[in-house]
Every structure is written in C-alpha cells, then in structure tokens.
Amino acid sequence: MKTKHKFLVLIGIATMVMTVWLGSASAFQSNAQDAPGIVKKNGFDLDTRSAGRQMADEIATLGNAVPADEISPVPGEDVVPQIHLRGGNVQVNDGNLDNIQIFAGFRPYVKFTQSETSISAFGPNIVAAYNTSANQPLAAGGVFTHRFLSGFSVSNDGGETWSTGFFPPIPGSIFTAGDPALDVDRHGNFYFAGLGLNADAMPKFTIQTNKSTDGGRTWSDAVVVQQDNGGDKEWLAVGPDPMVKNRDNVYVTWTSFQRTGSQLRFGRSIDGGATWTTKTIFAPPPNPNPVLPQNALQFSNTYVDQITGTLYIPFLHFSNSDQDFIQILISDDAGETFRFATFNIAGAPDPTLLPVTSAGELIDCRSGGGRLTIHSGAPQPGRFGFRSFRNASRLVTQPAFAARNGRLYLAWSNSTSLVFGDPTSHSNILFMGSSDGGATWSSAIQVNPSVANDTQHVLPSLSIDTGGNDVHVGYYTQHADETIDVDLANSHDRGDSFPADRTVRLTGSPMSLPPTNITLTATTSTNYDRTIVACYALGEYMSVRSENGHTHVLWGDTHNTVTEPVNALDPISGQTHSQEDVVYQKVTAH
C-alpha cells in the first residue's frame, strides 16, 4: 500500500507552474515497481534514493570556527607528533545565506541545511561542494522562483578564506538537485557532477557536470551527461587514459532506477567534459533466493589510478535479506570493457562478492521512507512495528576507495550484528587492501579504535598520499550519549594497521542531531527545514582528499543552532535546535 504525498506547495517561474509534494512519502509496504529505488529487506521496503533524488522526484512528479586540537578519540591516549591539525575547524559555507521565509497559512520555511560533502584540491585552490537549502527563494503563496540545491565554497589561499556560490544549472533550467562529486585534472581544472533537471516544461532528470578553469571561482553551465528519468547517486573521477597517457578522461557513474531493477550506468568524456558517451555497464537480474544478489544496486564510488589509468567502480549490490555485497568493476581500457575484482570470501555466494551488513537501525522516517539511521532522543512509535525518532540522520553504505599503481584500498561501515537494521547493533569501519589489482585481498581489519562509549562509526571516506603509504579514513563517531564527533584514522603502512595513537579527533566538541523527522500525522513527517526530506541531517557521505602533503577533510556539522520563529502552524514553534553547516579541517599526517 503506497502512502500518498502531502503538503503541497506551488513552484512557479514565468508562466510555468508545477506542484511539489513536501515530504515524499514512500511507505514501507509500497510496490517496488511503482516506487523505483525501493529495495525489499526481509519483507520490508528500504528507500535507497538520495536526498537529491527524492527532492527531484518531488519536483518532477508534478511539474566559523570550532576550536580543535590534536586530541585522540581514545581517553588518555596521546596522538603521535606526526599528526597535526593545521588551524581549527573552519565553516566554509556562508551562514548569511541561510534564511527563513514565512507566508500566511504556511508553516515557516527554515532553510538552514548544508551537508553531504565532496572536496578536491590543487595547490592553493580548494573546492568544497555540498547540498544546500539556502538558495530556494519563494514568492508569496509558497512559489519557488528557483531551487539550486548544489552549492560550493572555494578557497584560493590553501583554506584560509572561503567564498560561497552555487553551481549553474543547465541553460534555461531553474533546478539543480545536489549529490555532489568533485575531482581535478593534472592541469588544475575542477569538475563537478550532480543531479539536475532540464529546462523542459515538465522537467526531466539529468546527470550533469560543470567545469572550472580558474581554480573553482567560476563554473561553466551544466552539461548533460545523460537525460535519465531513473538517474540517482552519480559519482565523478578524473584520471589518465591508460593508452593515451597525456590525456585525462572524465568519468561519471550513476544508478538508474528502472522497473526491471537498478542499472549501473557509465559516462566518459575525452574532451574535458564538453561531450559524453554513455552506456549501461551492469544490470543484474532478480533472484528468487532472497539471500543472493538482486536486481538492485546503489552508491558507486568511481576512482582512477593516477599511475596506471585503471578505472575502478566499487558499489553496493543488494540482497533481499540481511547481508548485502560490495562489488568492484575494473576497466583497463578506459571503460570499453569491465571485469570484477575477486574477494574469494569463504561462504560468499560468488568470488566477486564481499558480504557486508549495513550499519544503523531501520526506522520509520514516515515521509522519508524506511531508512537506516543514527538517531537521538526518545523513541516514538512507528509503523509496521518499527521505531521512529525525531532526531535522525540517514545512513548508506557507499564503499570508500582509492588505488595507486595497482594497489587497492577499501573501507566501509559494517554493523556488529548480522541482522539488517538491528536496533541493538553498533558499527565499525573495516578496511581491506589488495596488492595485485583486486585479485586477492588482505583480511578485514578495524579502522576505528575500540572505545567503550563509542557505539557507531559510519559514513567513511578514504584517501591516500601520493606514494600510497599513508592511508587516511575519516568517519562520524556516535557516542553512548548520542552526540557525534568526526575522527580521522591514519595508517603509515599502507593500511596494514591503524594505530589508536594515529587517530585524531577533528571536531573540537561533540555535536547533536537536529529534528529532521517531526511527526505530523500517522503517515507523514517533516524535517525542520521543510524543503529537505525527512531524516536528512549529516548527509549521506563526508569527504577526505589528500594532496600536496596535506589531507583535506570536509563534513556536515551541527554545532551551530537556529531558533524557530514563533508560529502556530510550526510543531516546534520557538524552539532552538542544532542546524547543519559544512566544516573544513586541514591535517598533516606522515
């Protein structure tokens, strides 16, 4: 049974008027064919769509500083002197752009969300990309003049100062839909990939890219990689063509939700992002056995080996039971042909499958669907026997990955339970390496230190230095008191070990989750930022990138607060709570 959407607002520009459903409601028991992106897990529905895709679905359906020191996350542990934080945490998004709009007869529009980050650097130029709600102006009556959800901040002085902007849409369009992915070529040209919609009278979904040739200060209009009504969760990578070594290719992968299942699609540009060729590279079939891989995949993380030009595409392949699987597609010829890496895990259904149990509790996010989350506060009754939490942030399992000269590095968040969505489970960051291009792998080891009061370690991002010896893994840590910090684990032996004294806490103080799943009715809920989907707070990934002797870390941060306007229609009228900004930290680790 599919829950109907609620809370309509009008979107208008010129003579075009469309309707958007605030709170895209995907009930746990919906028909997957009618709701692309829904995966059956033990008989219930998991919504795998990104926040950008959910917001784009809504559109298209109808129409400063936190002080920080070199502190270990392990009580009483000192961080080795080879790990240095360069300055304190820096907020990169311009908080003055956050805004509140109020119209008679409507709940307030509190547009204070910036999170889900990607970072790239070239010399003194650093670009930070993220999802943002700050540039969605409304006219009277709840009419959006445009919705630009893809934002960036740029520093041209090595991270000392930042300016904020928004990625241009496709010419004529008034929409960008977030899901940022950044990379840079050998000449210092930056590339951005995101979701969007075109300029048609009834806009269609697009996978699109922008390019900057001036250090990230200005960006080209968006170029369409592919118009794909099922497109979601794109990822971008830039690197040398394996045959034409003086040429950098730009690659984009994404999930395409189809009625027959999810497909992994691939785009390649050999002319700096001006034109693209695209194709489907993997479309798995369904399987009557629920524990085997199904026709559902998501969360690709494309990477190019800068020495060999080999292309790697790790992604999550779903089953309909508790364990899902990481797989890695490999191309030695710039995407002409692909083969799978082999893990050879005992008991796995296939040598190419790495079994994982995704982290988080499966809760009822009502308008946000059934979601794995970390959360805080008292539980509330949800539908179908699941709990619900007012303060929640969704989790995904995107493999964190890097490669250099045939050596591969892989990290992911794994539940301590073998039961999907187990409310009693904790989670850790696990790591494996391969020294032979993905033919064989080391045994999995735990990246995060074991601390009694740390319960969850989620959303890892991984980078390596130019020699591949130093491996850096950033992640969110949730404590037993439900507060959250950001940690960076560092290996000096290619990932053979991640000593506790080489792990550093990046946040100067713990932070709290904001109210993102506020119950409105038995079937609907709202984020405090009602332009953003329910249960969305920290974003679905953070970003770590090493370059020029430094490691750049970018994350969604909730240290700042906002006070709700006093309004009779607002269920949290007058309350002060945390809100999301994007924070940067430079680290030297050797």
445 pLDDT band (50/70/90 cuts)? very high
479 pLDDT band (50/70/90 cuts)? very high
> How far, in Å, CA of 251 to CA of 238, rounded?
6
pLDDT at 17: 24
pLDDT at 62: 43
214 pLDDT band (50/70/90 cuts)? very high
Contact 102, 567 (CB under 8 A): yes
Q: What DSSP character marks residue 284? A: P
- With pLDDT > 70 as the criterion, what percentage of the chain qualifies? 92
> How far, in Å, CA of 64 to CA of 537, rounded?
19
The pLDDT tens digits for 486-524 are 999 999 999 999 999 999 999 999 999 999 999 999 999
- The torsion angles phi and psi of 52, rounded to 5 degrees, stand at -60, -40
56 pLDDT band (50/70/90 cuts)? confident
What residue type is assigned to position 57 of the chain?
Answer: D
User: Where are the domains positioned within the chain?
Assistant: 8-589
Q: Does 22 have pLDDT greater than 90?
A: no
> Residue 336: exposed, middle, or buried by beta-carbon count in 10 A (0-12, 13-18, 19+)?
exposed
Name the residue among 101, 108, 105 with its Cα closest to residue 137.
101
- Average pLDDT value for residue range 436-455: 97
> How far, in Å, CA of 128 to CA of 240, rounded?
23
Tokens at 478, concatenated = 């949730």
What class is the 8-589 domain? mainly beta
Q: How many helices (H) and strands (E) does the chain have?
A: 1, 50
Find the angle CA(371)-CA(194)-CA(353) to the nearest 5 degrees: 55
SS3 91: strand
Q: Give the helix/strand (H/E) hosting 363.
A: strand 361-364
pLDDT at 43: 84
Residue 162: left (phi > 0), alpha (psi -120 to 50), or beta?
beta
- The torsion angles phi and psi of 60, rounded to 5 degrees, stand at -80, -25
Strands (E), 213-302: 223-227, 231-240, 248-258, 261-269, 277-282, 297-298
pLDDT at 67: 39
pLDDT mean across residues, the chain: 91
Predicted model pTM? 0.92
12 pLDDT band (50/70/90 cuts)? very low
pLDDT at 533: 96
The pLDDT tens digits for 123-160 are 999 999 999 999 999 998 778 899 999 999 999 999 99
Find the angle CA(471)-CA(477)-CA(478) to the nearest 5 degrees: 170
pLDDT at 369: 94
